[in-house]
Amino acid sequence: MDSNMIKTRFAPSPTGFLHVGGARTALFNWLYARKHGGQFVLRIEDTDQVRSTAESAAGILSDLQWLGLNWDCGPQPGGVKNEYFQSMRLDLYNAHLDKLVKDGRAYEAYETPQQLAAMRMVAEKMKRPFRYRRNMPGRAERGSGPTVLRFEMPFETITFHDLILGDISVGGEEHDDIIIRKSDGFPTYHFAVVVDDHDMGITHVLRAQEHLMNTPKHLGLYQALGWQPPAHAHMPLVFNMDNTKMSKRDKTKAARAAAAAWIKQGHTLETLVEKSGIPADQLKEFLDKKTDDSRLAAAIGAALAVHLPEIDVQDFRRSGYLSDALLNFIALIGWSPGENREILSREEMLQLFSLETIGKTSGRFDRKKLLWMNGEYIRKRSIDDLLHDLAAFNAVTDYPIKHATESQQRDLLAMYQERTGTLAEMAENSRFFFEEPEMDAAAFKKHVESGNGRGLLQQIRDMLDSITDWSKDQLVPVIEKIIELGEKRGSAPQTLRVAICGGSVSPPLLETMCLLGRTTTLARIDKALQKTG
């Protein structure tokens, strides 16, 4: 390996789904490595044994693959544990922990969580931030509580140059002797991240600003272990348009609000238990804010048919955003490629990306802009490409279009390309092709039941019935004649549309009828005629 080679990494903790903030971190690391001909490493930071799950790791991998962010070193597809999972690297951490103990830089501590809370309270009463230090009075005796290892931070100021934020200094009085090995024998994030970034030859750590104050701690460890630290760059946070930090909680908050509104309408909690399939005790816990489980939020959203704000990459995929559009959009949160450029291909991103063009202040997540961008992507794409996007969408959703043949899917994509913002919108609006539509009563009244609607529909039926070969060529002249029918030009096609689509909005009649086929078209007209009865 070229010793000057740039190596970046994305190091998610597998405690949930990949959210858009994480996806942006992954993208910037990927761009930086690819742009400089370097390597992009994916590492799963599963040292929190309680919160880490294999399911989450597999989900993160699949989302990164969907986004096209391929890695050079990392877990295998599916998330089978290998040496890029921290839980498989305990021997390495222990060797370095032992060395720190031997060098006198790590020491055992025995406080219980209650003791630590009491120590914190004392500090707070004295209006001083609590800092655990080896030389502080009142430390717990050996054997009195769980044994952890703490790292003795240096007492001097630590200064580093952040490639985005500039020079950052943290005074010695701010340092805290952090825990580096927990009582369960696992290293903490702080320790494992330093050992791994060093061991894997990471040259640049690009991560979110919420980690900024972790970096001095890590630099203390690098110094004690005698290692050269990588360069650091901390990226701006992602905010909602209302200036709140975008977080997984936005989804649980929205689900709670929907449940509260529903109960306020006079429904009981028991009915929500029934509708959502969530056991009563879990539902109560969720509503009392004791847990923020996004799966429960999703179940409530589905049960009450309310749309929850998308936060995780999977949410956007299920809502029918294209991976390229989402990637393009998240690239622009906190990064400005200049010249007001907005729609950028991966190649263009690679050309224009640099750490100097990343902002220092938080970026905004503008959902309206994302929707616009997605529509732009859909319109510009070839049907072949859209077919791939649709397959990826169908893999995580269950609309009727999922079961359509490839040729039907192609026809639908061609029909909806100009008129849909997302694939989910298309999947929803095209339901009537596959299942009997629920009739829009107002449209039915206006276009079929009123005036001579019924007569027109009967006439249309007779004309269509005479077509033997249900093809575009034969349908075109008949549709032309239908347009001329009735007193008002255009009213007859609308009557036909409502009868076969269940509402007054649909793609053009010709394509719609071709895809519906002769039998379904005529059967739906008959049903509408019967309804006017």
Task: Find out whether 88 and 75 touch, Cβ atoms under 8 Å.
Answer: no
As a whole number of Å, the end-to-end CA separation of the chain is 80
The reply to whether 45 sits near ligand GLU by the rule CB under 6 A is yes
Q: Select the span of 5-13, 151-159, 274-282, 485-493 touching ligand GLU (CB under 6 A).
A: 5-13
Q: Residue 189 Cβ, how far from ligand GLU at the closest point, in Å?
A: 6
The reply to whether 89 sits near ligand GLU by the rule CB under 6 A is no
Binding mask 104-133 for ligand GLU (x = CB under 6 A): ------------------------------
Determine which residue in the list 13, 56, 252, 429 makes contact with ligand GLU, applying CB under 6 A.
13
Q: Residue 347 Cβ, how far from ligand GLU at the closest point, in Å?
A: 26
Of 35, 81, 248, 402, catalytic: 248
Nearest of 53, 51, 41 to residue 11 by alpha carbon: 41
Q: Select the span of 9-17, 120-128, 450-458, 495-503 touching ligand GLU (CB under 6 A).
A: 9-17
Q: Which of residues 333-362 bind ligand GLU (CB under 6 A)?
A: none
State the DSSP H helix or E strand holding residue 198, giving kind and residue range, or none if neither: helix 189-199
The reply to whether 75 sits near ligand GLU by the rule CB under 6 A is no
Which is closer to ligand GLU, CB of 218 or CB of 317?
218
Q: What DSSP string describes 406-470?
A: HHHHHHHHHHHTTT-SSHHHHHHHTGGGTSPPPP-HHHHIIIIISTTHHHHHHHHHHHHHT-SS-
**What 3-state DSSP class applies to 280?**
helix
Which is closer to ligand GLU, CB of 207 or CB of 461?
207
Residues near ligand GLU (CB under 6 A), total: 8
Going by DSSP bridges, is the β-strand pair 238-239/363-364 parallel, antiparallel, or unpaired?
A: parallel
Which is closer to ligand GLU, CB of 196 or CB of 324?
196
* Rounded alpha-carbon distances, angstroms, from residue 8 to 63, 124, 201, 259, 303: 19, 39, 9, 43, 42
Q: Residue 206 Cβ, how far from ligand GLU at the closest point, in Å?
A: 8
Which is closer to ligand GLU, CB of 13 or CB of 323?
13
Buried b (16+ CB within 10 A) or exposed e, 75-92: beeebeeeebbbbebeeb
The reply to whether 207 sits near ligand GLU by the rule CB under 6 A is yes
Which is closer to ligand GLU, CB of 26 or CB of 370?
26
* Rounded alpha-carbon distances, angstroms, from residue 175 to 42, 214, 217, 377: 30, 10, 8, 49
Nearest of 413, 419, 321 to residue 370 by alpha carbon: 321
Specify burial of residue 95 (Cβ count, 10 A radius: 0-12, 13-18, 19+). Answer: exposed
Determine which residue in the list 6, 11, 64, 415 makes contact with ligand GLU, applying CB under 6 A.
11
248 is catalytic: yes
* Rounded alpha-carbon distances, angstroms, from residue 465 to 71, 219, 233, 283, 462: 58, 80, 69, 55, 5
The reply to whether 193 sits near ligand GLU by the rule CB under 6 A is yes
Which is closer to ligand GLU, CB of 12 or CB of 334?
12
**What 3-state DSSP class applies to 320?**
coil
Which is closer to ligand GLU, CB of 45 or CB of 411?
45
Which is closer to ligand GLU, CB of 189 or CB of 191?
189
Q: Select the span of 8-16, 30-38, 220-228, 436-444 touching ligand GLU (CB under 6 A).
A: 8-16
Q: What DSSP string describes 497-513?
A: HHHHHSSS--S-HHHHH
The reply to whether 485 sits near ligand GLU by the rule CB under 6 A is no
The reply to whether 211 sits near ligand GLU by the rule CB under 6 A is yes
Q: Select the span of 6-14, 51-59, 168-176, 273-281 touching ligand GLU (CB under 6 A).
A: 6-14
Q: Residue 127 Cβ, how far from ligand GLU at the closest point, in Å?
A: 31
Q: What DSSP string describes 47-84?
A: --TTT--HHHHHHHHHHHHHHT---SBSPPTT----TT
The reply to whether 96 sits near ligand GLU by the rule CB under 6 A is no
The reply to whether 198 sits near ligand GLU by the rule CB under 6 A is no
What is the distance, to the nearest Å, from the Cα of residue 334 to the centroid of all Cα atoms in its chain?
Answer: 17
Binding mask 497-516 for ligand GLU (x = CB under 6 A): --------------------
CA atoms within 13 A on the CB side of 39: 16
Q: Residue 88 Cβ, how far from ligand GLU at the closest point, in Å?
A: 15
Which is closer to ligand GLU, CB of 223 or CB of 417?
223
Nearest of 278, 317, 324 to residue 301 by alpha carbon: 278
Q: Which of residues 413-472 bind ligand GLU (CB under 6 A)?
A: none
Q: Residue 525 Cβ, how far from ligand GLU at the closest point, in Å?
A: 58
**What 3-state DSSP class applies to 389?**
helix
Task: Find out whether 170 and 216 touch, Cβ atoms under 8 Å.
Answer: yes
* Rounded alpha-carbon distances, angstroms, from residue 176 to 180, 182, 193, 441: 12, 16, 18, 68
Q: Residue 218 Cβ, how far from ligand GLU at the closest point, in Å?
A: 8
Q: Select the span of 11-19, 107-115, 317-325, 440-448 touching ligand GLU (CB under 6 A).
A: 11-19
Q: Residue 192 Cβ, how far from ligand GLU at the closest point, in Å?
A: 9
Nearest of 47, 75, 51, 41 to residue 61 by alpha carbon: 75
Q: Residue 177 Cβ, how far from ligand GLU at the closest point, in Å?
A: 20
The reply to whether 12 sits near ligand GLU by the rule CB under 6 A is yes
CA distance 334 to 358: 6
Sorted by sequence, the CB contacts under 8 Å of residue 191 that are 6+ apart come out as: 93, 96, 97, 151, 180, 181, 221
Residue type for position 101? V
Q: Residue 194 Cβ, how far from ligand GLU at the closest point, in Å?
A: 9
Q: Which residues bind ligand GLU (CB under 6 A)?
A: 11-13, 45, 189, 193, 207, 211
Which residues are marked as active site?
248
